[in-house]
Amino acid sequence: MASIDLPRALQDYFAFAETTPTRNGRRFSITLPYRRPDGGLDRLQWWYHLSAAKEMALGDSASETMRAEAIERFTTHIERWLHNTRQDLHGNEAIPYVTAEGNHVMGASQVDPAVSEGLEPNVEDESPVVDGGAAIDEPDSTAANEAEEPREASGTTPESGHRSPNRSAFG
């Protein structure tokens, strides 16, 4: 679905926080910091709430249970966001990069000049190749002019009775 190319699990990049509890319960956030293509720092955040009633119902493991559910939902949200915006999450640093799909180098290494010495550079053919492998020759203007069908004074070809493509209905 989404392109996530990270050396560790996505959850390892999350930062967790809890705000000051209120009479309505406890509020938590999960944050994923990331670097934009321009190098700027940005973040995705997921907030969730644990009411006092729910905390009493779930018991001692209430915050851990809610956290696990929130991590699962946040991970799904990130994957969908990446897919819908056609972006990739990648990098080997502490803060990953988000770039346009396919717009990052997976791995690169330096070329040793001694190894590539004497190799001829790749040169593209001047004429493009078609499916069958035959090259397409670009017609030059003189050959195209010689191969044209004879035209009547009105601009129609004798066989077809249609106007030539370079003449309009008005002359």
The continuous run of DSSP H or E covering 30 comes out as: strand 26-35
DSSP calls for 31-98: EEEEE-TTS-EEEEEEEEEE-HHHHHHHGGGHHHHHHHHHHHHHHHHHHHHHHHTTEEEE-SSSS-EE
Confidence of residue 102 (pLDDT cuts 50, 70, 90): confident
Model confidence pLDDT, tens digit, residues 21-56: 999 999 999 999 999 989 899 999 999 999 999 999
The letter for the amino acid at 43 is R
pLDDT of residue 143: 46
pLDDT of residue 81: 95
Separation CA 14–CA 3 (nearest Å)? 17
Q: Where are the domains of the chain?
A: 3-100
DSSP-derived 3-state class of residue 130:
coil
Separation CA 16–CA 58 (nearest Å)? 21
Is the predicted pLDDT of residue 167 greater than 80, yes or no? Answer: no
pTM of structure: 0.58
pLDDT of residue 101: 84
Contact call for residues 92 and 7 (beta carbons, < 8 A): yes
Of the listed ranges 25-29, 64-68, 75-79, 115-119, the least confidently predicted one is 115-119
Is the predicted pLDDT of residue 169 greater than 60, yes or no? Answer: no
